[in-house]
Amino acid sequence: MSQRLGFSIAGAQKCGTTALDAYLRRHPALSMGRDKESHFFDRETGVDWRTPDYDILHQAYADDDGRLRGDATPVTLFWTPAQYRMLAYNPQMRFIILLRDPAERAYSHWKMIRGRGQEPLPFGEAIREGRVRILNEGAQSMATRWFSYVERGFYARQLKHLASLFGWERLLILRQDDLSAQPEATLARVTDFLGVPPLGAVPPERRNVSADTEVIGEDDRAYLNALYRDDLEELRALTGLAFD
């Protein structure tokens, strides 16, 4: 049997996962997949999850050479069916989670989907009335993936579910701002968590940085801040992380 993956950069989307993946590809003791996002465990069609063919996942990696294998698919934190499938695959899986201010994350998410031509609604409507699209089309629909601007920002809720399956000790929760401002110190936490030697000095990675300087409107920020207040308080209590 092929060597199984040992860790996942599991989210959150638009929180620096591409930069972290790029950093870890430089580490001689780590093996990342051919593509950044395998989307193997969050597939809802084309896989019989009673008897999954893991060779489909493993073929994206070099021949077994003893390196620790990892993947970076940021929908994992949000897509709970994927977490159960990963538990069946490797109950010792470790997860690295990057987070940022959830209102800023939502706005960045919306700009991405809008830029792809998949979002007809302005941001203010998308985070209000537009949330109904997820309810109308079902929990595992493409609408849920595309339009979950608000839902993906309830970090404490999502982390508690992931920890209920794997345990808090298998989660490393970081801030995107720290990876950007203090990459070497943040990467040292990552390599310590993974049990591999430090990466050392690295040139900074700036990935998916938009030239768009437009910022979230004050009314929309106030609306989202109110929605996220309780969840952010719980996140601080659980992890010590804050975005003040």
Domain ranges of the chain: 7-239
Mean pLDDT across 6-14: 97
Q: End-to-end CA distance of the chain, in Å?
A: 47
The string of DSSP letters for 169-194 reads GGEEEEEHHHHHH-HHHHHHHHHHHH
E strand or H helix at 55: helix 55-58
The pLDDT score that the predictor gives to residue 81 is 94
Rounded (10°) angle between helices 80-89 and 155-166: 20
Q: Which residues contact 207 (CB under 8 A, 6 or more apart)?
A: 16, 18, 19, 22
Strands 30-32 and 7-11 come out as unpaired
pLDDT tens-digit map of 59-87: 999 876 789 999 999 999 999 999 999 99
pLDDT tens-digit map of 161-180: 999 999 999 999 999 999 99
The pLDDT score that the predictor gives to residue 99 is 98
Residue 33: what residue type?
G
pTM: 0.93
How would residue 3 be classed by pLDDT, with cut points 50, 70 and 90?
confident
Is residue 64 a contact partner of residue 18, using CB atoms and an 8 Å limit? no
Residue 21 pLDDT greater than 70, yes or no: yes
Residue 144 pLDDT greater than 90, yes or no: no
The pLDDT score that the predictor gives to residue 145 is 86
Residues in the chain: 244
- Buried-state track 161-195, b at ≥16 Cβ within 10 A, e below 16: ebbeebeeebbbbbbbbebbeebeebbeebbebbe
Q: Which residue has the higher pLDDT, 217 or 244?
A: 217
Is residue 107 a contact partner of residue 216, using CB atoms and an 8 Å limit? yes
Residue 53 pLDDT greater than 90, yes or no: yes
Residue 125 pLDDT greater than 90, yes or no: yes
**DSSP-derived secondary structure letter, 116:** T
Strand order in the sheet with 30-32: 30-32, 68-72, 7-11, 94-99, 171-175
**In the structure encoding, which two tokens stand for residue 111, read together?**
């700009």
Q: Which CATH architecture has domain 7-239?
A: 3-Layer(aba) Sandwich (3.40)
pLDDT tens-digit map of 176-224: 999 999 999 999 999 999 999 998 888 777 766 555 667 899 999 999 9
Of 13, 214, 218, nearest to 124 by C-alpha is 218
For the chain, the maximum distance between any two Cα atoms, rounded to a whole number of angstroms, is: 54
The pLDDT score that the predictor gives to residue 244 is 77
Q: Which residues contact 176 (CB under 8 A, 6 or more apart)?
A: 15, 16, 98, 99, 100
Q: Using a CB cutoff of 8 Å and minimum separation of 24, what contacts does 18-21 make?
A: 18/72, 18/207, 18/208, 19/179, 19/180, 19/205, 19/206, 19/207, 19/208, 20/72, 20/96, 20/98, 20/179, 20/190, 21/72
Residue 1 pLDDT greater than 60, yes or no: no
Q: What does the alpha-carbon distance between residue 92 and residue 95 come to, in Å, rounded to a whole number?
A: 10
